[in-house]
Amino acid sequence: MVDVSQHELVPDHTVVDDEEIEDVLEEYDIKKTDLPKLQRLDPAAPDEASVGDVVRVTRDSRTTDQAVVYRLVVD
Amino acid sequence: MSSQQTPKTIGSLNFGLMDPEEYREMSATKVITADTYDDDGFPIDMGLMDPRLGVIDPGLECKTCGKHSGSCNGHFGHIELAAPVIHVGFNKLIRRLLRGTCRNCSRLVLDEHERDEFRDRLTRTRELQEDLNDVTKAAIRQARKKDTCPFCGEVQYDIQHEKPTTYYEVQQVLSSEFSQRIVAAMEGDEEEEDSQPVSPQELSDKTGIAASRVQEIISGEFRPREEDRKAIEKVLDVDLTEEDMNKLMPSDIRDWFEDIPDEDIEVLGMVAERSRPEWMILTVLPVPPVTARPSITLDNGQRSEDDLTHKLVDIIRINQRFMENREAGAPQLIIEDLWELLQYHVTTFMDNEISGTPPARHRSGRPLKTLSQRLKGKEGRFRGSLSGKRVNFSARTVISPDPTLSLNEVGVPDRVASEMTQTMNVNERNLEEAQRYVANGPEAHPGANYVKRPDGRRLKVTEKNCEELSEKVEPGWEVSRHLIDGDIIIFNRQPSLHRMSIMAHEVVVMPYKTFRLNTVVCPPYNADFDGDEMNMHALQNEEARAEARVLMRVQEQILSPRFGENIIGAIQDHISGTYLLTHENPHFNETQALDLLRATRIDELPEPSGTEDGTPYWTGRDLFSELLPDDMNLAFTSEAGDDVVIEDGQLLEGTIDDSAVGGFGGEIVDTTAKMYSKTRARILINEVASLAMRSIMHFGFSIGIDDESIPEAAEEHIQEAIDNAYERVQELIETYDRGELESLPGRTVDETLEMKIMQTLGKARDSAGDIAEDHFADDNPAVVMAESGARGSLLNLTQMAGCVGQQAVRGERINRGYEDRTLSHFKQDDLSADAHGFVEASYRSGLDPKEFFFHAMGGREGLVDTAVRTSKSGYLQRRLINALSELETQYDGTVRDTSDTIVQFEFGEDGTSPVRVSSDEENSVDVEGIADRVLDEEFQSAEQKQEFLGERAEPTNLSEHADDWWMAEGDD
């Protein structure tokens, strides 16, 4: 199987810890379910991610260099 | 709703099924008579037009609420159905419930563990705001797998649904020809070797059935029990069953559903309190109020009823017949037929476009427009009446150009201006003005149409009462005065594909009947003047006017959010004009120079550019420079290819053309809009357009057929080039015929030949173009237009003067028409250029009939393509708009939908507006340039700036080695 996470077009996906989740939720004043979603079986999802985790996606951006997005893992 | 009531806030909405008891309770009357009016024209009691259902005739009083027509909203009635019928809108849900629940005890056929699982999944999907249907469907799928009920052990049968409203239970029962099948199986299959005939004795031994019983079964006298049947089936390897379809009547289904426990439906996502499943089977039918189905009185005095009333009449008639027949003890067959008929009428009452059911028709053959037809589609209640409403204070007429208007303005015909009004709140300061308007009356132009007194009474201003009325106007009144110059209005051209399709303009009242607009606003509206019409909306409150003026005025829309550059700029003749003015930098004497600038705000000429024979002259570039901001510095490459240099607002060199002042990213306009102001950019565009028009008129600019003619020698030259290409094509064909043509990778030989021929002919056209081009002077109008980017390209020129070239359909040479040839004029399988649509002629020389035909084929494809493209992109646009319409950028920079789910954490990743910051693949954001500009603006003097930035490091005297480092840092 191809490991898509190694592909240059696939941005970095990392599971974030509870503390950081809290910070993010507080910053935007949202519930966890208001985050954008990521499928558990998405090829880009990290292996250790399980349903209910939050994944941080850091992608290169032409205008901001790095754009950070948080996604809730769902099935 | 009556206009007197104050609007209320909606706290919450609940959707669910309705309890038949609730129908009965809210019903104003039971409806039992199918007739509407009696012979005297009065509505019949307990008929479909019962006065208790509301009133439509003016003067009558509603018997339920006592109000008159207009203020009474109408009241529902009800029909007691003789037998329950299925509600078509719920046929899928009914099917699901039948499949998921036990036929005996009505419980959901899932054990506790499974129920918990689906309950959990339901709460989770609810939280994630995903589709609940996915979960309930999965639950039903799971339940359907069960053969028996886990609670009562009853065997479950498959449910078959015959659309729209018939349900069958499919059971496996003993076939009627079971004995024949057993005998056939006992004799064995002669074709197969290992199948031995089985004797009755053997069968008896193997199945454990008594031998005498076996005999009886074989003779067909005795029907085997289920265990015996299964045993025989196993031994003989035969299927003794057949499907039995047992029709479920709506009453059966209703009984079935009534027994489903509340907690079981919860697992299926239904709330029992609000939606009991048996309510999906109708026992009582609500009759919509008369106001929802008004009858119309025709000219001849006859009443014409609404489609819904017609349908209700049908329902009541059948209902009546059903009851009579049942009471008379009619045979079951008749009853069932009537039942089905009743079901049909109730079904079509709700939806008359169900597949598989013939639509109910009017006497004329027109299908009836029933409930769901009123809601559905473009003209339905949602898209037609709620999302799209007709508006007052709007006008529509043909548009025409007027270069004397500013781009912010629009010429409004006086007859439109005196129909559209603006409300003036009269006070001490505008009292005289208001009186003047009223005194002018409704017909003279700056007049008024209505006045409103402080007590709320509206009076129409007429020619007769205007003088008198104007005297009465005093502070506190409201005067609806005509549109006058300077009013702000909204102007729109459909299709409104981007925000620049709706912009605010200032009114200039003009004679005649068309809207006039400056030609530079054609690109954002995508308008031309071949008969286009546009809409105008007069704004009716101060907030709207302020918002339009600040946000929507044309000058505020110069920069397009699509690509972050200006979309408004000089077009067509303006470009040719500035090109002629600046390309060869011609000289003008004083009169000429003043004439060129007379439509601009420049009323004094600058210092002359020089003197010639003692008279001063001004160059075109110097005159153009007068329009530029004084401190503008710019350098870029023009469309014509030379370098444009602007220093301190002076055009030093270069040609001003499309890439300088044009729309879609003209450097000068773009820079002015971004670095100076929108207002400065508006002035610049207006003046460039005016100057360009003056200069193109000074030089004179026209194009005719002779502008594309070339010397005979050149024509021969072109002919030679084409003949040459023909020869090469012939060679290619010969190689192909000999079978020596080598195919290109990934292509067949035929494809290779086609490609090579196309290539050769393409080259031939290009060389014909090159030859033709050599003979055109630089001042040839077609060349000027192509080079400046005003209109047309060198390819167009090539086709006019040189050779039109290969015509294509679907990207290939023309291959269609007759068998193995395109036209009957050619031999079959002729591969040559002219037999497949190569047009050797130029547009100037004219095409021969065959060429003309091929050219028409290519042209037709283009037309069809555009027609298909517009309809496809229109639908795509609609879907995009619907998908994105509820997204909104919040104050914290996130983009969220209406349920607060985040779509983007920062608008467009960088939180910047494309109108304020532009960058693309080649030009990233010029951070250094912006920083320099900010610093320059922040400090008045160079010293202060120097102080802020700090001193440059002095050369160190520590070591000789340090000198290199310091030298490399700067050059001083």
Q: How confident is the model at residue B913 (pLDDT cuts 50, 70, 90)?
A: confident
Within its chain, how far is the Cα of B494 from the centroid? 12
Do B910 and A69 make contact, defined as CB atoms within 8 angstroms?
no
Choose among B82, B49, B64: nearest CA to B287.
B49
Structural domains in chain B, sorted by start: 28-75+288-383 (4.10.860.120), 573-699 (1.10.274.100), 718-865 (1.10.132.30), 926-972 (no CATH)
**Per-residue three-class SS string for B51-98:** HHHCCCCCCCECCCCCCEECCECCCCEEEEEEEEEECHHHHHHHHHHH
Q: How far apart are CA B279 and CA B287, in angstroms?
A: 17
pLDDT of residue A73: 92
- In B176-237, the DSSP E strands lie at none
Is the pLDDT reported for residue B210 higher than 90? no
Cα angle: B642, vertex B643, B645; to 5 degrees: 140
Q: How far apart are CA B103 and CA B916, in angstroms?
A: 67
Handedness of CA B627, B629, B631, B633 (dihedral sign): negative
> Two tokens at B74?
């109408």
**Per-residue three-class SS string for B783-812:** HHHHHHCCCCCHHHHHHHHCCCEECEECCE
- Using a CB-CB cut-off of 8 Å, the residues of chain B touching A61 are 909-910
Three-state SS at B260: coil
Residue A4: DSSP 8-state: G
Mean pLDDT of A45-53: 88
Q: How confident is the model at residue B689 (pLDDT cuts 50, 70, 90)?
A: very high
Choose among B610, B692, B686, B629: nearest CA to B656.
B692
Is the pLDDT reported for residue B413 higher than 90? yes
Q: How far apart are CA B114 and CA B852, in angstroms?
A: 74
Q: Which residue in B127, B905, B919 is closest to A33 by CB distance? A: B127
Is residue B78 within 8 Å of residue B23, measured between CB atoms? yes
Question: DSSP assignment of B707-743, as one string?
Answer: GG---HHHHHHHHHHHHHHHHHHHHHHHHHHHT-PPP
Is residue B813 within 8 Å of residue B806, measured between CB atoms? yes
pLDDT of residue B972: 45
Mean pLDDT of B595-615: 88
Do A64 and B900 make contact, defined as CB atoms within 8 angstroms?
no
* Element spanning B173, H or E: strand B166-174
Is residue B728 within 8 Å of residue B753, measured between CB atoms? no
Q: How confident is the model at residue B214 (pLDDT cuts 50, 70, 90)?
A: confident
> pTM of the full predicted structure?
0.74
Phi, psi (rounded to 5 degrees) for B435: -65, -35
> Two tokens at B569?
């700029």
* Element spanning B927, H or E: helix B927-938
Mean pLDDT, chain B, rounded, equals: 86
Cβ-Cβ pairs closer than 8 A, A with B, add up to 43
First to last CA, chain B: 83
What is the least distance, in Å, from the CA of B126 to any CA of chain A? 10
Q: How confident is the model at residue B60 (pLDDT cuts 50, 70, 90)?
A: confident
Three-state SS at B943: helix
What is the least distance, in Å, from the CA of B457 to any CA of chain A? 51
- Using a CB-CB cut-off of 8 Å, the residues of chain A touching B912 are 63
> Two tokens at B840?
């050797």
Is the pLDDT reported for residue B956 higher than 60? no
DSSP bridge pairs for B535? B396, B492
Q: How confident is the model at residue B708 (pLDDT cuts 50, 70, 90)?
A: confident
Handedness of CA B473, B478, B483, B488 (dihedral sign): positive
List the 902-941 stretch of B: residues with Cβ below 8 A of A. Answer: 902-906, 908-910, 912, 917, 919, 924-925
**Contact residues for B665 (Cβ-Cβ < 8 A; gap 6+):** B563, B565, B566, B659
User: Which residue in chain B is spatially nearest to A60 when comparing CA positions?
Assistant: B909
Could you say which architecture CATH assigns to the domain A4-74? Answer: Alpha-Beta Complex (3.90)
Mean pLDDT of B763-778: 87
What is the least distance, in Å, from the CA of A64 to any CA of chain B? 6
Q: Which whole-number Å values give the CA distances from B21 to B72, B76, B285, B565, in the listed order? A: 24, 13, 11, 65
> Two tokens at B90?
């719920």
Choose the mutation target among A21, A33, A35, A51 for the interface with B, i.e. most B CBs under 10 Å.
A33
**Contact residues for B391 (Cβ-Cβ < 8 A; gap 6+):** B537
**Contact residues for B35 (Cβ-Cβ < 8 A; gap 6+):** B44, B47, B48
